[in-house]
Amino acid sequence: MQHYSVMSLARNAFSRHQGWQQAWRSPDLKKEYDVVIIGGGGHGLATAYYLAKEQGISNVAVIEAGWIGGGNTGRNTSVVRSNYLFPESAKFYDFSLKLFEGMSRELNFNVMLRQAGMVSLLHSRHDVEAMRRNLNAMHMNGIDADWIDADEVARLAPGINRSPAARYPILGGIVQKRGGIARHDGVAWGYARAADALGVDIIQQCAVTGFDIRNGRLRGVETTCGRITTGKAAIAVAGHSSVLAGMAGFRLPVTSMALQACVSEPLKPVFDATILSPSAGIYISQSDKGEMIMGGGLDMYPSYAQRGNIATLEGVIAGVVEIFPRLSRVKLMRQWAGIVDIVHDSSPIIGLTPVKGLYINCGFGTGGFKATPAGGWTLAYTVAHNRPHPLNEPFTLKRFETGAFIDEMGAAGISH
């Protein structure tokens, strides 16, 4: 374990980082591994870490086409929460939130978790009735969530438009106090460093191009850096899951779409909590640097273009300005998109595939950052034991045969 004191940080700064240790190695690719993880996003790196740490399997390679955390892990708006509707999701996402709560200590890497609460706004009688039902379900599932009145909303969201004539009047809200945000690239780097320290090889700038499958069983993985012999591989490539499944000869019930977000110029601290309006289709939080982070729904058509369209962006900005009129003159600084993997019940897929020895983690769509630790933990268990853990048992491909869907589409009202 490495601990950096203020003194050692200052020493390294003045010595121009001579002697500064690399956080993880850049090893040569070996010809054979026990497990190959495809995708160096948060989920892939967490899977590698938990394989080594919890399952005792450290002869593992993480193969990343670009750079680690450069996919959706580095593009998301970093909201974490566990206020889902169905018991299966509540268990899974609360396990994830608990892992987040211990993550900085476990990885010895500050992931800057800020549990300042996540507030869903209620603007109409319908919102109130629908959210009352959701709140009851959350309580039944043991999830901490509270009803708050309009005054408390205004305290958590200073500057919110409280005019009764507003297009989105504020009738109250639901808050999960343990919800909040965490530093997304910190999560990728923390898992990478900890996995590397346990012997995992992280190979960047190397893309998987095919699979060697014989008699329905995985024998190897083809990459742009050469062939790897392995009996087990796990796909964790989010928006590119269908492409990898296609290489292995099966189809996934997943559609790839762009999800975008944007940030304003930095402001002095305005609010700590994350505020979400299902009716307006927006959410907003403030980063530690002061930028207002804003997002909304998907660009609703299949695409692999990581741009995002103007109409969706306009809709988000219009909604934000209706609810926070004082932000109308703030300048927008950056906009971007990521390609996310959408499943029609808005729940993930973590489990075995039709190819023996090949496993998958995908379908987290617009909300998989918060699931990074649980996604990695359960996939590692599944790979090691060749069967799902009870936490991910409801989230395998089997539900597309049985029809036991877990429809979380409306749970929080909007994707994030």
Residues that bind ligand FAD (CB under 6 A): 38-44, 63-66, 70-73, 75-79, 207-208, 236-238, 240, 244, 259-261, 295, 338, 340, 364, 366-370, 416
Distance CA 349, CA 356 (A): 17
In single-letter form, the type of residue at position 59 comes to: N
CA distances from 93 to 42, 82, 84, 337 (A): 15, 5, 8, 24
- Kindly state the smallest distance separating residue 178's Cβ from ligand FAD, in Å: 14
Distance CA 208, CA 192 (A): 19
Nearest residue to 288 via CA among 268, 315, 316 = 268
- Pick the closer one to ligand FAD by CB: 37 or 160: 37
Count of Cβ atoms closer than 10 Å to residue 79 Cβ: 23
φ/ψ bin of 101: left (φ > 0), alpha (ψ from -120 to 50), beta (otherwise): alpha
Task: Please provide the distance, in angstroms rounded to a whole number, between the alpha carbons at the two ends of the chain.
Answer: 33
- Kindly state the smallest distance separating residue 156's Cβ from ligand FAD, in Å: 18
In single-letter form, the type of residue at position 290 comes to: G
Distance of CA 101 to the CA centre of its chain: 15
Structure tokens belonging to residue 155: 């305290």
Sign (positive or negative) of CA dihedral 257, 38, 346, 81? negative
CB 61 within 8 A of CB 203: yes
- Pick the closer one to ligand FAD by CB: 41 or 161: 41
- Pick the closer one to ligand FAD by CB: 161 or 201: 201
- Pick the closer one to ligand FAD by CB: 65 or 384: 65
- Pick the closer one to ligand FAD by CB: 96 or 104: 96
- Pick the closer one to ligand FAD by CB: 75 or 123: 75
Distance CA 342, CA 362 (A): 9
- Kindly state the smallest distance separating residue 6's Cβ from ligand FAD, in Å: 31
- Kindly state the smallest distance separating residue 152's Cβ from ligand FAD, in Å: 23
- Pick the closer one to ligand FAD by CB: 120 or 161: 120
- Pick the closer one to ligand FAD by CB: 73 or 255: 73
- Kindly state the smallest distance separating residue 348's Cβ from ligand FAD, in Å: 9
- Kindly state the smallest distance separating residue 151's Cβ from ligand FAD, in Å: 27
Residue 341 burial (CB < 10 Å; 0-12/13-18/19+)?
buried
- Kindly state the smallest distance separating residue 255's Cβ from ligand FAD, in Å: 14
- Kindly state the smallest distance separating residue 325's Cβ from ligand FAD, in Å: 24
- Pick the closer one to ligand FAD by CB: 64 or 201: 64
CB 263 within 8 A of CB 293: yes
In single-letter form, the type of residue at position 35 comes to: V
Residue 98 burial (CB < 10 Å; 0-12/13-18/19+)?
middle
Helix (H) or strand (E) holding 194: helix 184-197
- Kindly state the smallest distance separating residue 308's Cβ from ligand FAD, in Å: 8
Nearest residue to 368 via CA among 379, 358, 359 = 379
- Kindly state the smallest distance separating residue 19's Cβ from ligand FAD, in Å: 30
- Pick the closer one to ligand FAD by CB: 363 or 394: 363
